[in-house]
Structure 1
Amino acid sequence: MFEVSTEILLFLMVAGFFAGFVDSIAGGGGLIAVPAMLLSGMPPLTVLATNKIQGLFGAATAAFSYARGGHVDLRKQIGPAAISFAASIVGALIISQLPTDLIRVVLPLLLVGVAIFFALQRGLSDTDRVRRMSPLIFNASMVPLIAAYDGVLGPGTGSFFMLAFVSLAGYGILKATANTKLLNCASNAGALLAFAIVATPWWMTGLAMGVAQIFGARLGASLAQKIGARLIKPLLVCTTLAMAAKLLWDLI
């Protein structure tokens, strides 16, 4: 029934739980899930495809939890989510046409920059700030750009959405996290649709990890809503730096 043995499946489900927990708060769940799947013997392209299956469950659960807590209006985000969905499909379908080697070199540096921004930025809280970009321009530029990247590679997508919402849309940390989960859910769904065509996901294994992601995401979103920026900011900095270190290590 499953593509892996029972022991490996349990290992992957534990990884999925922790990935869902971390991702629901600060993004970066792929830092946990992707290496775990690679250790299980999955081919790299299958890993990317299967990661979208299990990640979709966690992002959807977190988005619903934040919406239920009143931190994001899902109806108002339907448009941006649709853009994110479409852009990630394009990114996943044209991955072979892009200089991904160059992206892998530049990406760790960008992630370090994101971590430094959140670590040194004073006054970051759950309170909204001055908006530097209108919703129309934001949805037409930053949303498709980041979502397309999620279709191409993926690591750091949540961090980039967070940075955009905080620095350009003027959102507070908690509100930015809530909106990030919805758009990340849409980009996961779009990329999964594309990968289902060009790759061979391990569906049953991905679904099992997705169930574990649900529980991890519910716990993480609950804690984030109770503690807010005091939890989100340090975890965001740590996970972003960890992703950058992992990507740099892979280049060596």
Structure 2
Amino acid sequence: MEVTFEILTILFFVAGLAGFIDAMAGGGGLLTLPALLAVGVPPTQALATNKLQGTFGSFSATLYFVRRGIVSLKEMRLAIACTFVGSAIGAKLVQYIDAGVLTSLIPLLLLGISLYFLFAPQVDEERGTPKLSESMFAFTVGTGVGFYDGFFGPGTGSIFTICFVAIAQLSIINATAKTKVLNFTSNIAALLFFIFAGLPVWELGLVMAIGGFIGARFGAKVVISKGKKFIRPLVVVMSMIMAIKLLLQQHPEWLAFL
């Protein structure tokens, strides 16, 4: 494919918007991955390039939350380690295993996430005793969702957020902040394997990374200042959009009825 200034400009702004959305509710890949495919990047390289740019965006949001004391990396070290290992395993196995099973299950999971956030009571502060210990949460959620992100990916941020809210009993703002830490961890683990395979298109990925970094910084600021107002509806909307998009990809014949 020929890389032009117009393509770079479009991808820069798409990544900026995606970084902004992703910092608050996840789902930024719903914008960036189709954009890469639309400009002619082959699917495998598009996936790797998307991880490259997404890593910068999640790093930007993570850095913002850490510097402001919303999250402590020391307290999350076990969850970070488990997420890294899970994502690395997923990124390795995806080269050998058909992702069809996960592809069919994830829309249902995303719809479940949407319905939970839509009907669950409002959460302003931590609600009490977590349903799992920190170590068990790290081993199960960290490893499991990390594996999913390395193996497949869509909706990872939303899944982490719902787990922090429903299982760890965190407020929506703290859940979103911790989600960004683990999302960055899973991104960087998967990216390393893609780099070893020589898959990312660096010119596109780095331009998008700049846009994503800037967008994620603004998104992180909105989480802290107006998080309770915006995060909840964004999680619902992005989860439903991703679920519908994946279902239509699996069942294109449904488009005839729309």
Structure-1-length-normalised TM-score: 0.95
Q: Identify the residue that residue 73 of structure 1 maps to in structure 2.
A: 72
**Aligned-residue offset at 1:250:** 1.3
Q: Identify the residue that residue 238 of structure 2 maps to in structure 1.
A: 239
**Aligned-residue offset at 1:234:** 0.5
Query: Which whole-Å CA distance do the structure 1 matches of 2:8 and 2:201 have between them?
Result: 12
Q: Identify the residue that residue 90 of structure 2 maps to in structure 1.
A: 91
What does 1:41-56 correspond to in 2, within 5 Å? Answer: 41-56=40-55
Query: Which whole-Å CA distance do the structure 2 matches of 1:139 and 1:132 have between them?
Result: 13
Query: Which whole-Å CA distance do the structure 1 matches of 2:226 and 2:128 have between them?
Result: 19
Query: Which whole-Å CA distance do the structure 2 matches of 1:77 and 1:207 have between them?
Result: 28
1:198 counterpart = 2:176 = no
Query: Which whole-Å CA distance do the structure 2 matches of 1:129 and 1:69 have between them?
Result: 24
Runs of 4+ in structure 1 deviating by more than 6 angstroms, as ranges, are: none
After the TM superposition, which of the residue ranges 149-158 and 97-106 deviates more from structure 2? 97-106
CA deviation vs aligned residue, 1:9-52 (integer Å, no higher than 9, x gap) = 11111110011000000011101111111101011100110111
Query: Which whole-Å CA distance do the structure 2 matches of 1:150 and 1:199 have between them?
Result: 19
- 8 Å contact kept, 1:126–1:229: no
The change in CA–CA distance for 1:75 and 1:49 in structure 2 (over 3 A counts) is: same
Q: Identify the residue that residue 168 of structure 1 maps to in structure 2.
A: 167
Matched letter for residue 33 of structure 1: T
Query: Which whole-Å CA distance do the structure 2 matches of 1:47 and 1:182 have between them?
Result: 23
- 8 Å contact kept, 2:114–2:239: yes
Matched letter for residue 145 of structure 2: I
**Aligned-residue offset at 1:198:** 3.0
In structure 2, the gaps of 5 or more residues are 253-258
Structure-2-length-normalised TM-score: 0.93
Query: Which whole-Å CA distance do the structure 1 matches of 2:152 and 2:122 have between them?
Result: 32
Q: Paired residues, what number?
A: 251
Q: What SS does the aligned partner of 2:170 have?
A: coil
**Aligned-residue offset at 1:107:** 0.8
Q: Identify the residue that residue 154 of structure 2 maps to in structure 1.
A: 155
The RMSD of aligned alpha carbons is: 1.5
**Aligned-residue offset at 1:60:** 0.6
Q: What SS does the aligned partner of 2:105 have?
A: helix
CA deviation vs aligned residue, 1:76-116 (integer Å, no higher than 9, x gap) = 22332222122111101101443411211111111001000
1:223 counterpart = 2:217 = no
- 8 Å contact kept, 1:25–1:177: yes
Query: Which whole-Å CA distance do the structure 2 matches of 1:128 and 1:113 have between them?
Result: 21
